[in-house]
Amino acid sequence: MIAEKCPCGLGEPYDDCCGQYHRGAEPPSAELLMRARYAAYVVGDRAFLLRTWHEKTRPRALTLEANQAWQGLAILDRQGGGIFDTEGVVEFRARYTADGRPGTMHDRSRFVKVDGAWRYVDEA
Ligand SMILES: [Zn+2]
């Protein structure tokens, strides 16, 4: 368990933030799923990443890069993805270091709601 601030950037303790989703609760919005998936990469929760991946695009297995360390997430834009939506797009920028060298990932992730639960589909 991580007692400190959640790596997703919201500033809450991990257990009260993305930790609750990693333990099984469903994030109520696409942005919160986006944040929880980022946090899952940080804490190495592959089961959560696969569980929240849409079944049509989910990889059979997922390997986390051991040499890649995530340094921070910024949500840049969002479309839909709210409590009353069924689709959403979240644009984000994530910083990392790989083998000690800094890098940036900038993408727009697509999400859909399946049986009331947000799922990650692919990059828009
Ligand atoms: Zn969080």
C-alpha closest to that of 27 among 11, 40, 41: 40
Which residue in the block uniquely carries the two structure tokens 């969002």?
Answer: 78
pLDDT of residue 3: 67
Q: pLDDT-based confidence at 114, cuts 50/70/90? A: very high
Residue 50 lies in a domain: yes
User: Residue 95: which domain range?
Assistant: 14-123
| Distance of CA 122 from the midpoint of ligand 1 (Å) | 21
Residue 9 lies in a domain: no
pLDDT (mean) for 86-103: 96
Into how many domains does the chain fold? 1
Residue 5 lies in a domain: no
Residue 60 lies in a domain: yes
pLDDT of residue 4: 86
| Distance of CA 45 from the midpoint of ligand 1 (Å) | 13
- Asked if residues 69 and 6 have their Cβ atoms less than 8 Å apart, the reply is no
| Distance of CA 40 from the midpoint of ligand 1 (Å) | 9
| Distance of CA 107 from the midpoint of ligand 1 (Å) | 19
Encoded amino acid at 6, one letter: C
Residue 70 lies in a domain: yes
pLDDT of residue 66: 86
Number of other residues whose CB lies within 10 A of the CB of residue 93 = 13
| Distance of CA 13 from the midpoint of ligand 1 (Å) | 8
Residue 2 lies in a domain: no
Residue 53: partners with Cβ closer than 8 Å, 6 or more residues away: 59, 119, 120
Q: pLDDT-based confidence at 101, cuts 50/70/90? A: very high
Distances from the Cα of 63 to the Cαs of 46, 51, 107, 116, in angstroms?
8, 14, 20, 28
Residue 82 lies in a domain: yes
pLDDT at 2 over 90: no
Q: What is the CATH number of the domain that holds 37?
A: 3.10.450.50
Instruction: Return the structure tokens found at 9.
Output: 């950037």
Residue 113 lies in a domain: yes
| Distance of CA 35 from the midpoint of ligand 1 (Å) | 6
